[in-house]
Amino acid sequence: MPRYLITSALPYANGPLHIGHIAGAYLPADIYTRYLKLKGVEAIHICGTDEHGVAITIKADKEGKTPKEIVDYYHQNIKESFDGLKIFFDNFSRTSKPLHHKLSQEFFIRIYEKGYIYKREIEQLYCLNCQRFLPDRYVEGTCPYCGNEKARGDQCEQCGRWLEPKDLINPKCTICGGVPVVKTSYHYYFKLKEFEKPLKDWLSTKTYWKENVLNQALSWVRDGLQDRAITRDLSWGVPVPLEEAKGKVLYVWFDAPIGYISSTIEWAEKNGKPEEWKKYWLDTETKIIHFIGKDNIIFHTLIWPAMLMAHGDYNLPDNVPANEFLNLMGAKLSTSRNWAIWIPDLLKEYPADYIRYGLAHVIPETKDSDFSIEEFHTRINSELVNNFGNFVNRTLSFIKNYMGRVPKDIEGFKDMDLEIIKDIEELPGKVGSYLQNFEFRKALKEIMAFSQKGNQYFDYKRPWSTRKTDYKETERTLYLCASMVKALSIVIEPYLPDSAVKIRKMLGISDLSLSWEDAGNWKFSKEVAPENVEILYKKIENKPISVGPEASTNQERKEEKPMEYIKFEEFKKLELKIGEIISVEDIPGADKLYKLQVHLGDKIVELVAGLKTTYTKEELIHKKVPVLVNLEPKKVRGITSNGMILACDLDGKPVLLTPEKDVPPGSPIK
């Protein structure tokens, strides 16, 4: 039997986890690993925080902190979320550890010496204002493929294309909003193109992969692979281990997947078996399974395998069961638009098993799925409470109250009893076949259907009535109901680990070491007496779930104050008009402010507006915007500002509101 190495995508240590992260890469991997371990398969689940790259340094720049302060905080924050959700890793490491740096540099040198890395002079975007090159997320612009105006310099989140900063249309520095210039620099490139045929041949053997994953990987190979830069001009990261490359670090997407190996090595060392990691990375009997989201498909099915091929020693992935995206109430999850449900907030409101159950039903296995707060509440109350919990509690309560123990040496099963016995015997095989194929939603539906059948069997047999007229029949009924509860406690464990432990404790079998196959054994090996039976699940109120900006991170969310209302007469005092910007000038020494001339129909007024971090002067000319015109004039940087332009706040940056149709300057806003 092969052993398994399961990995989950390394979460970026620049923010907390949200429901999309969990449903996409972490809950499925945890369910799968728990299932394998219940089957007695040798398996470990490896992960860790990804602590390098531009996303980290940008966060540090914005918050006035060092990258180390950022990653230290979020490593702990992320780990606490996983712990709270009972998502278990055999090892959860960090890519900032010396072990990882050393291994990444050795990996680089190995393929450099084999001729798969070379130095190339390139033209690169440079911000004159910030005095720095602009790699990856330091630049944003319009995607040349799909037109997304918020595409990053490394990838477009909308269409999934891998980009270079120079590919972007109308690029801007994400720090100051300035327009970058092109400067000459050099970087080290990985000869990805040389691996086109080996990758194509390798992918041709993966006919058992998810169709969406395989098709995306093959389409990239068909379009032709290009060599990729694997270094960056940053001060934070794994230094390039060449004397001539001072000031350069390994690109985060080169060093991050190596984190799977370094975390496995760390696991072996922690367990006092420093050579044990080799079984998982060097022994071909091991199956490596990478759980990721679809935005990481290209990296895990092409770039990473090509790196492993270039190195030559390590096993290639056996499967990459990538999931699609989870939407939130019909809209794409977006941290930049403050449209997310954060795990730290969710854990304050609900037990881990409630969250795991709700998210397991919407794992986006082959297409995007949607999380609805209303549906989440309905599933908990109607399925977990009324179906699953009801069957467990009514069975155990009846046995405890009227029988004291689960009967033994029962005979005389017939009709529906025999059907139930067959269902019990087939349950682990049915559920397991779905789990083995990464069909987590179907497996969960099979479990809940089995639970529902238990309720139907209980109702049909009417033990509350037969205990007075046919006690033996009551014993047969409750014996099989208890056997179904035992089976449920095993097959539900990968999904709801806390519930599984609690059920077995109430049933009185917590001392038994149960395997996956034991779910199909309807007989009890000893006399069982339920104890401390209590309500397994309680209904939840249909209350709002916090949706919005990152919470429970650097500081607790401030207590919300009741809204203070104004009188309608006060609102009527505000005079709002559409103005057309006709002139834009810089203000000496001001990084965020422009001096504007705005045409209001009957007059032109001078305003000072903090739009510089978002818009160039050229972009503002002739733009029509809402203006509060009867605001008391105010001196700003020695300039009298006569009014205020209204804008939205997006991550601390202004975004202008513009009329849907073309209207003349001076049009009143009502």
CA distance 315 to 271: 22
Pairing of strands 647-650, 653-656: antiparallel
Where is 579: in which H helix or E strand? strand 576-586
Please say whether the beta carbons of 295 and 157 come within 8 A. yes
SS (H, E, C) 49-110: EECCCHHHHHHHHHHCCCHHHHHHHHHHHHHHHHHHCCCCCCEEEECCCHHHHHHHHHHHHH
Number of Cα atoms under 13 Å in the Cβ half of residue 602: 4
Where is 607: in which H helix or E strand? strand 604-609
CA distance 381 to 537: 9
**Structure-block tokens of residue 243:** 């004397």
CA distance 23 to 113: 40
Supply φ then ψ for residue 583, to 5 degrees.
-150, 140
| 335 labelled binding-site residue | yes
Please say whether the beta carbons of 87 and 291 come within 8 A. no
Pairing of strands 369-371, 326-328: parallel
One-letter identity of residue 142: T
Supply φ then ψ for residue 50, to 5 degrees.
-90, 110
Neighbours of 623 (CB within 10 A): 18
| 481 labelled binding-site residue | no
CA distance 566 to 568: 7
User: Which SS3 state, helix, strand or coil, does residue 381 take?
Assistant: helix
DSSP state, 401?
I
| 156 labelled binding-site residue | yes
Neighbours of 617 (CB within 10 A): 16
CA-CA-CA-CA torsion sign (516, 518, 519, 520): positive
CA distance 21 to 342: 10
Please give the angle made by the CA atoms of 391, 397 and 402, to the nearest 5 degrees. Answer: 130
Supply φ then ψ for residue 84, to 5 degrees.
-65, -35
- State the binding site for ATP: 335
- State the binding site: 143, 146, 156, 159, 335
- State the binding site for Zn(2+): 143, 146, 156, 159
